[in-house]
Amino acid sequence: MAKVAFYIMGLKGYVTLDRFIKKHGVEEIAYVVSSNNHDIMTDYFDEIRDLTLASNIKFFQRTDTFTELEKIPKLYKFAIGWRWMIANELRLIIFHDSLLPKYRGFAPLVNALINKESYLGVTALEASDSYDQGNIISQKKLPIEYPIKVSEAIEKILPLYFCLVDDLYTKINEEIGYEVQKQNEKDASYSPWLNSDDYYIDWSWSATDIKRFVDAVGDPYDGAKALLESKIINIIEVDVVDDVTIENRHRHVGKVIFKIHEFPVVVCQTGLLKLVDIRDDQRNPIAIKFRSKFY
């Protein structure tokens, strides 16, 4: 029997490991590696560590030394939600939450939702020297409808990860082997990493685009933000409402034009956006003045 090691982070990694243990047991799991991710609100590091230790599996943090274990014969390494290069690429399989070659890189799911892709998916691919350019082993996809929050999208694609892992593990142990397909560079696109600036709303977008953006960067990510009187405001929940004619509209983008049941309605380049849930930088709900403008 081949041994497997998991390099995992986040809910996707946790759920996949949990389902693997429940179906296949722990005997063939050589070790698990995880790390904190301070860029998201709930990183599942504690849950991964606790599940691993409770199952009597060797557990390591990313900065620990475990090079000898990586030399185990017939060891396959599964990387899910992993953010760093893994030095030993031998039998290393990456699981990426996009239908490669589109959305290579970071936060592919967020960008796919912002771009209103009709399908979401997961790709299993061989490791390569350049990130997400390895040969494709297998892909799974599913259709989605909008509006949809990123937390809902994650829940929908979670089963795809274990499905791919399970299929590969079965083929490896039955020595069936798997075919690979080279990526078509003409179809490739890249999804850059997100920094704090990337969470700010651009009020020159349409109300529909802003709604999709707010939904795409919500929990477990840091959430959409705006500036109001030089203070950071967290935009948690928004709805698109019927537009009205606004004189010299381009001069008033970002302004509260009126309230609906005490919810402020903001002028966008196209359409109007009702702010259903807004909070201060401590995540406390706030009310704002009628004469307010967001930047």
Residue 66, pLDDT score: 85
Q: Do 171 and 126 fall within a single domain?
A: yes
Q: Do 187 and 200 fall within a single domain?
A: no
Q: Do 69 and 144 fall within a single domain?
A: yes
Q: Do 233 and 259 fall within a single domain?
A: yes
231: domain CATH number? 3.10.25.10
Q: Do 39 and 75 fall within a single domain?
A: yes
C-alpha count within 13 angstroms, C-beta hemisphere, residue 3: 15
Residue 1, pLDDT score: 77
Residue 67, pLDDT score: 82
Which residue range(s) make up the domain with 237?
196-279
Residue 265, pLDDT score: 97
Query: In whole angstroms, what is the distance from residue 90 CA to residue 264 CA?
Result: 55
What is the pTM for the complete model shown? 0.90
Q: How many domains does the chain have?
A: 2
The gap between the terminal CA atoms of the chain, to the nearest Å, is: 58
Confirm whether 93 is domain-assigned: yes
Query: In whole angstroms, what is the distance from residue 158 CA to residue 148 CA?
Result: 15
Residue 159, pLDDT score: 96
Residue 185, pLDDT score: 95
Query: For the chain (length 295 residues), average pLDDT per consecutive 10?
Result: 92 96 95 88 91 96 87 91 84 95 95 96 93 95 96 95 95 86 96 92 96 95 94 97 96 96 95 97 90 95
Confirm whether 56 is domain-assigned: yes
Residue 87, pLDDT score: 78
89: domain CATH number? 3.40.50.12230
Confirm whether 291 is domain-assigned: no
Query: In whole angstroms, what is the distance from residue 125 CA to residue 133 CA?
Result: 8
Would you list the DSSP string of 197-243? GGGB--TTSBHHHHHHHHHHT-TTS--EEEEETTEEEEEEEEEEE--
Q: Do 179 and 233 fall within a single domain?
A: no
Q: Do 141 and 251 fall within a single domain?
A: no
How many C-beta atoms surround the C-beta of residue 216 within 10 A? 23
What's the angle, vertex CA 180, arms to CA 174 and CA 181, rounded to 5?
A: 160
